[in-house]
């Protein structure tokens, strides 16, 4: 994620990252340039209160949505693709 984000959050550090801040601010240009799809950490809560979490997983965001977002952004900024 560090390769496709703008910065690291100094208020949210992680021991697994040598106490660096977590990558923050996904950049659509970097996603499209590198082809790295952002990770999505999911959690599913039970429909009844107090039961807790019933599922979890990690998936990747589709690259196509970032390609479309970049084109829309460029169009909105008056840049021709």
What percentage of residues in the chain have a pLDDT greater than 90?
A: 93
Domain tally, the chain: 1
CATH number at 28 reads: 3.90.1700.10
> Residue 67 belongs to what domain range?
5-46+53-76
Reported as a single tens digit per residue, the pLDDT across 24-52 is: 999 999 999 999 999 999 999 999 999 99
81 in any annotated domain: no
- Would you say 28 and 34 are in contact if contact means Cβ atoms under 8 Å apart? no
Q: Whose structure tokens read 């196509």?
A: 64
> Which residue from 21, 20, 26, 22 is spatially nearest to 6, judged by alpha carbons?
26
22 in any annotated domain: yes
12 in any annotated domain: yes
29 in any annotated domain: yes
Q: How confident is the model at residue 81 (pLDDT cuts 50, 70, 90)?
A: low
Q: How confident is the model at residue 8 (pLDDT cuts 50, 70, 90)?
A: very high
Q: Is residue 19 scored above 70 in pLDDT?
A: yes
d(CA 37, CA 62): 7
d(CA 41, CA 63): 17
């Amino acid at each position: 994620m560090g390769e496709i984000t703008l910065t690291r959050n100094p208020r949210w550090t992680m021991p697994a990252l040598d106490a660096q801040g977590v990558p923050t601010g996904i950049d659509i240009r970097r996603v499209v340039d590198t082809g790295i799809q952002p990770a999505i950490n999911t959690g599913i809560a039970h429909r009844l209160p107090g039961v807790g979490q019933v599922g979890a997983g990690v998936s990747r965001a589709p690259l196509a949505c970032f390609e479309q977002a970049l084109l829309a952004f460029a169009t909105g900024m008056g840049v021709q693709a």
